[in-house]
Amino acid sequence: MIVAGLMTGTSADALDVALVEFHLGGTADQPELRMDLRAFQEVPFDSDLALDILRLLEPDPVPLTLVSSVDRRLGQLCAEAVAAVSEETGLECELVVSHGQTIRHDVRDGAVESTLQLGQPAWIAERLGVPVLSDLRARDVAAGGQGAPLAGMLDHLLLVGGDQPRAMLNLGGIANVTVVSPTSDTVAFDTGPANALIDVMARRITGDPRAFDRDGELAARGEVDEALLADLLADPYYALPAPKSTGKELFHGTYLDRHLTRHPGLDPYDVIATLTRLTARTVAQACRPLGVSEIAVSGGGTRNPVLMSELRAELGTEVPVSTTDEALGLPSEAKEGCLMALLGWLSWHGLPATIPSVTGAAHGTLAGRFTPGAQPLRLPAPLRTGPARLHVAS
């Protein structure tokens, strides 16, 4: 089965499109799933769409017309992107899984009250004629979970079976980590900002509303301000127990400014260096109590050598840090697209796509809702047992 996985994250810069082929093998008691990444493309947003999405991610009120417009335009972009990749590769998918752009993830007193993603799936179904799975987080929230991080299932199936606790870390706008241990339940949670606050300062320094700290060049020009770092680390979120999740509803420009007013006159390069250290420090503080022996990293943060160097320094030589490319043969930039495809494969076969110990839900849930394609929706007979392991095809 070939599934197209679409992902746009909290960095809101591009659409990831992964065409993934799945093969189920193993035994009846211990089924195993092989995942073969057949094609991957990163499709940049045009300037207008990117700026409108970034506007939706700020805490200020926005007109409903903007929400509706982004919902349409992102759905259309998703449809054309999958069509283009399929035409270029000659691969036809049987299912499209579209995460959409999260514009709200509302958390009160540690509980997620609602989560909202844009990117109307009807445009994809109409353009391609195949079913579309979307709205992947809401059912877990309705079951009392965080609806995040969704990566827990993929990470668990890739890491299960080791003799020591191992972790997978994604550095997008927000950092999330999954820890798989032979002696306890798998846990996963958002550790805090990864690039969210770094991007804020990169845009202020450069004057480019879509800028990011390319190759860590901006952070490399500054020095960490320990007083600002201590102030940022005092945020109550970091002390909350898992399961927990967060987003740009908390970590945004206004949030940063509240801290900067207590530290006037800082050099902007020192601020961005401090924010880079903040990401590394909060990841390390989250992983250390869980006895993590090694970490495989994915996401845009892997392309920032200053951030990766800070992370290695915070974790020390006893916790090796590699990319998912190096550790698992899974391209770090394609991991979240593959994740979406996996969640679609599981839901298509009637299997839970979330883990209660990860999200805090009362039970594992099917992810998302289906939009039929050109034909009436016909699901296969549900599988009785889900895969025990996931292998990346070499």
Domain boundaries, the chain: 2-151+333-392, 161-332
* The one-letter amino acid at 279: T
Average pLDDT of the chain is 96
Pick the CATH number of 2-151+333-392 from 3.40.50.12280, 3.30.420.40, 3.30.1490.20, 3.40.50.620: 3.30.420.40
Q: How far apart are CA 391 and CA 332, in angstroms?
A: 15
pTM: 0.95
Which residues of the chain are modeled with pLDDT < 50? none
Tokens for 110, please give them. 């540690």
If you write DSSP's letter for every residue of 167-233 in order, what string do you get?
Answer: EEEEESSEEEEEEE-SSS--EEEEEEESSHHHHHHHHHHH--TT---GGGHHHHTS---HHHHHHHH
Q: How far apart are CA 84 and CA 78, in angstroms?
A: 10
Q: How far apart are CA 165 and CA 183, in angstroms?
A: 8
Tell which CATH architecture fits domain 161-332: 2-Layer Sandwich (3.30)
Tokens for 205, please give them. 């320094």
Task: List, in sequence order, every residue forming a beta bridge with 117; answer none if it has no partner.
Answer: 102
Q: What's residue 13's pLDDT?
A: 82
Name the nearest CA neighbour of 108 among 246, 225, 216, 202: 246
Biggest alpha carbon–alpha carbon distance for the chain = 65
Chain centroid to Cα 317, Å, comes to 27
Beta-carbon count within 10 A of 286 CB: 22
Exposure of 120 by Cβ count < 10 A (0-12 exposed, 13-18 middle, 19+ buried)?
Answer: buried
- Angle subtended at Cα 388 by Cα 382 and Cα 393, rounded to the nearest 5 degrees: 100
Q: Is 100 helix (H, G, I), strand (E, B) or coil?
A: coil
Q: How far apart are CA 91 and CA 262, in angstroms?
A: 55
**Phi and psi torsions of 351, nearest 5°:** -110, 145
* The one-letter amino acid at 374: A
Tokens for 373, please give them. 């394609």
User: Buried b / exposed e across 371-393, counting CB within 10 Å, b at 16+?
Assistant: bebeeeeeeeeeeeebbebbbee
Residue with token string 């090796």: 320
**Phi and psi torsions of 168, nearest 5°:** -120, 135
Phi and psi based region of residue 368 (left: phi greater than 0; alpha: psi -120 to 50; beta: remaining):
left
Beta-carbon count within 10 A of 80 CB: 15
Length of the chain as a residue count: 394
Tokens for 336, please give them. 């979240």
Exposure of 194 by Cβ count < 10 A (0-12 exposed, 13-18 middle, 19+ buried)?
Answer: buried
* The one-letter amino acid at 67: V
